[in-house]
Amino acid sequence: MASHKILVIDDSTVIRKHVKEMLPKGFEVIEAKDGVEGINLIRQAKPNFIMLDFILPKMSGFDIFNELKSDPKLQTIPLVLMSGRKEEVTAKIKEPFKYFAFIEKPFNKKQLTDAIKESMQKAKKRPATPAPAPVSAATAESSVESAQEIAQLKAKVAKMQQEIDALKKQLGQLVTFIKQKLK
C-alpha cells in the first residue's frame, strides 16, 4: 500500500537509506542523488512529500526550493529541508520558515517525524496561487483586433522602409551627379 510517495533528494546514500529506514511502512520512497535528478523526479513522479538536502551537486537545494516556490502545481507539496549547516540555509532563506520545515543533520526518528508533521501543517497554510483567468470572448476578440492592428502597422512600416530605401537611392544618384558636375 504505497499510496504516499516521498522523494528524498540527498547526495549521501547513508542519509537516503537512514530516512527510508525511519519512515513507517506504507510509504513509497523515491531517491535522487543530485539536484537535477531530484527536480526531474518531482515533475515525473509527482511525490506527496519532499525531503530536500540544501547542498547538492548539479543543482542546489536552494535552486530546487525556488522552483518549487514559483510553480503553483509544486508549491503545495509538503517540504522538509535538510542540512548539516543551518547557517547556510538561513543566509539564503530567512527564519521563521513559513511554508516548510527544517531539520538539521544528523537527526533521529522523532525529529524526522516531527519535521514531517510540521511541514504538512505548514503546507496546508500556504495560500493557493490563483490559476490564470480564463480568456473571455471579449478578451479573445480584443486580442484578435490587436493582432490585426499590429499586422497593419507592420505593413505600413514595410511600405515606409521601401520609400526610405528609394529616397536613399535617389539621394545617392543626386550626390553622384553633383560630384560629376563639380569636376
DSSP state of 56: -
Q: Considering only CA atoms, which of 50, 82, 84 is closest in space to residue 67?
A: 50
- pLDDT tens, position by position, 23-54: 877 788 899 999 899 899 888 888 888 998 88
- pLDDT tens, position by position, 170-179: 888 888 888 8
Residue type at position 52: L
- pLDDT tens, position by position, 138-160: 555 566 677 777 888 888 888 88
Peptide bond into 106 cis (omega under 30): yes
Check: CB of residue 86 under 8 Å from CB of residue 64: no
- pLDDT tens, position by position, 53-90: 888 888 888 888 888 888 888 888 888 888 888 888 87
Measured torsion, CA atoms of residues 70, 72, 78, 83, in degrees rounded to the nearest 10: -10
Peptide bond into 96 cis (omega under 30): yes
135 backbone dihedrals φ, ψ, rounded to 5°? -80, 120
